[in-house]
Amino acid sequence: MTTEQTNVESFDLDHTKVIAPYVRLAGTKQGKHGDVVTKYDIRFKQPNKGHMEMPALHSLEHLMADRIRNHSDAIVDLSPMGCQTGFYVSFLNYDDYEGVLEILEKTAQDVLAATAVPACNEVQCGWAASHSLEGAQALAKEFLEKRNEWHIVFQPE
């Protein structure tokens, strides 16, 4: 199969060679005033083999987006992937990979301790009926169980 080069880093990643779960540096951008945005690919599910069900993913997004900011003031954004296999998280002027892993571990532990999904209502959410706290916690638990493997991105050759 032939693929064409694109303008999107993740589209140019060979999804058949990665092994989830993992946390991968996906790129950096430097602004004209010197600030640097660093983006990480947080992969929960193996591409083209599994995916997160929408209510669980949606609740995990709400929980992680809210709780991750308790562990770093450098967070720019945490966003789900359209393929439903993971998230992107972006940091401003923070590029410590081991620190990112610690922040993600603490955030996933916060998800496990949650008793409700934040902003899970029609005023604060665009699809408030599609949530699952239990599903989000199951995803966080599964992710944490493989914590010692997050640094392994590619399958051994």
Residue-wise DSSP of 52-108: --HHHHHHHHHHHHHHGGGT-TTEEEEEE-TTSSEEEEEEES---HHHHHHHHHHHH
Counting every residue written for the chain, the total comes to: 157
H-helix or E-strand containing 135?
helix 133-145
Reported as a single tens digit per residue, the pLDDT across 62-118 is 999 999 999 999 999 999 999 999 999 999 999 999 999 999 999 999 999 999 999
Query: How many other CB atoms are found less than 10 A from the CB of residue 134?
Result: 11
Q: Which residue has the higher pLDDT, 13 or 133?
A: 133
Reported as a single tens digit per residue, the pLDDT across 103-155 is 999 999 999 999 999 999 999 999 999 999 999 999 999 999 999 999 999 98
Q: What is the CATH number of domain 14-147?
A: 3.30.1360.80
